[in-house]
Amino acid sequence: MRILIVEDEQSLAQLICDRLKKEKYTVDVSNDGEEGLCNALSGIYDLIILDIMLPHVDGIEILKEVRREDHEVKVIMLTAKAELDDRLLGFANGANDYVPKPFHIDELLARVNAQLNIGRAVDETLKYGDLTLNYKTSEIASDISGESISVNNKEFQLLEYLMRNPERILSREMIYDRVWGMESDALSNNLEAYMSFVRKKLKLIDSKVSIKTVRNMGYKLVREA
């Protein structure tokens, strides 16, 4: 899942980013309101962590614009403005949660997981067919063969996106947006290379789950009979 942090305090933004990446989230950071607004409206995020006091465009204006365009993305307001009126203003404009500064990073992580309906303290795996993706160990395993193998960060993100959308055709553009996002080093052949890596690992563990190429449309995850 992909998260956008819009926070002008760079050290704090990096702290949050590093912790979320350890939890296998894909994370982008914007350090001013103007850039944050542009990225927030891209439609590629599952959750936005949004400060209120930002240069150029404040967080409430970003929130208003996001809600005009996207009613699904979760938004957690993260700010030093913790008075009741400020919190009510955020909720009135569509915020899902509100975390006042200072805060403990574990509390913020718990709130992120709650908004995304991920109870990782209890359930640390994602399953489809015989295939299991383990958040804690960064491994995939087959229930049929009992074999497992580790996956790297991009392979993990790619598999997570496919497994959360099984049997659905995902275009190349959709996959690039969700897995690579704002990363500038994403080359045109990256997707094919990572698809090849993942397919090889699925075969190595003898999984009946496979990635099918749909001509001129994209890819989809399927279970073989």
Q: Which residues of 121-133 are buried (b: 16+ CB within 10 A; e: fewer)?
A: eeeeebebbbbbb
pLDDT at 49: 97
The torsion angles phi and psi of 165, rounded to 5 degrees, stand at: -135, 55
pLDDT at 56: 92
| Structural contact between residues 158 and 194, judged by C-beta atoms closer than 8 angstroms | yes
Top-tier CATH class for 2-115: alpha beta
pLDDT at 189: 66
Reduced to 3 states (helix: H, G, I; strand: E, B; else coil), residue 79 is: strand
Domain locations along the chain: 2-115, 125-223
Measured CA distances, 108 to 13, 22, 98, 101, 150 (Å): 12, 14, 10, 10, 28
Residues of the chain with pLDDT under 50: 119-122
pLDDT at 44: 87
pLDDT at 121: 45
pLDDT at 79: 79
Fold assignment, 125-223: Arc Repressor Mutant, subunit A (1.10.10)
Whether the model pTM is above 0.85 = no
pLDDT at 182: 65
